[in-house]
Amino acid sequence: MSAPIRKKRIAILISGRGSNMVSLIEAARAPDYPAEIVLVLSNRPDAAGLVRAREAGIPASAIDHKAFPDRARFDAALQAELEAAGVELIVLAGFMRILTDAFVEAWAGRMINIHPSLLPLFKGTHTHERALEAGVRLHGCTVHYVVPELDAGPIVAQAAVPVLPGDDADTLSARVIVQEHRLYPAALALIAGGGAVLDGGRVRFTAQERDAGAAILSL
C-alpha cells in the first residue's frame, strides 16, 4: 500500500466572486492532487467567494483593508492569519490589492498569481480591451510567481486563445476565463507536486514532469 501524498497547504486570496478559486477547490478534491486548500481570505467582507468557500467546507474570512491605516499593517494582519493556518503557498485568485514589497519578498517563491494576458504583454488592468486595441491575433492567460514588480514574476504556464473577428472585451474575456479555470489548477499541481521548480529567476520542469509541462503550455 502506497504512502499518502504529502499535500502542500494552500491559502487562496480573493476580492470578489472567486471563479478561479472554485476551479482550484474542485481540482483539490481529487485524492492524488498534491495541494490542500486550508484557508480562503479576502480583503472585502462582501466578497461572494467567501460564501462559496464556506459552502465547500473551507475556512474563509475577511480582513477588511479599510480597517487599517496603511498597507503594511494590513499585510501584517494577513501574515498572522497565514501563519496561524500553517500556509505554505499563497495563490492569488482575483485579489485586487497591491501587497507591500516586504510581504511579497517574505513569500518569494511561495506565491503565485494568474493574469489575464500572455505576459509580458498587457501587464496591469483592462487587458482584454488593450489586446483588442493592439490588434493581436492571440490572447490568453499566464500563471506566474509574484515579485514586487507588477505582473513581472517568472512564468509557470500560459494558455492562448484566438482573437476572433467581432470580438469585444466581454466575448474575449469569456474565452480566456475558460482557459484560466483549466490552467490554474494544473499549474498549481505542478508547483505543489515539485514538478515545476523556480531556478534562478526562471521556472524549469523536472524530468518526470517535462511532458506534463509542455502540455500545459499548449492548452
Active site residues: 115
- Dihedral of CA 48/51/56/59: which sign? positive
Nearest to 99 by CA among 88, 110, 86: 110
Report residue 120: phi and psi, to 5°. -85, 10
Q: Could you identify the residue written with the cell 511561495?
A: 110
Residue 180 CB neighbours (<10 A) = 23
Contact (CB, 8 A) for 155 and 114: no
Provide, for the chain, the percentages of residues in helix, strand and coil under a 3-state DSSP scheme, each rounded to the nearest 5.
40, 25, 40
DSSP states of 3-36:
PPP-PEEEEEEESS--HHHHHHHHHHTSTT-SEE
- Beta-strand pair 202-205/196-199: antiparallel
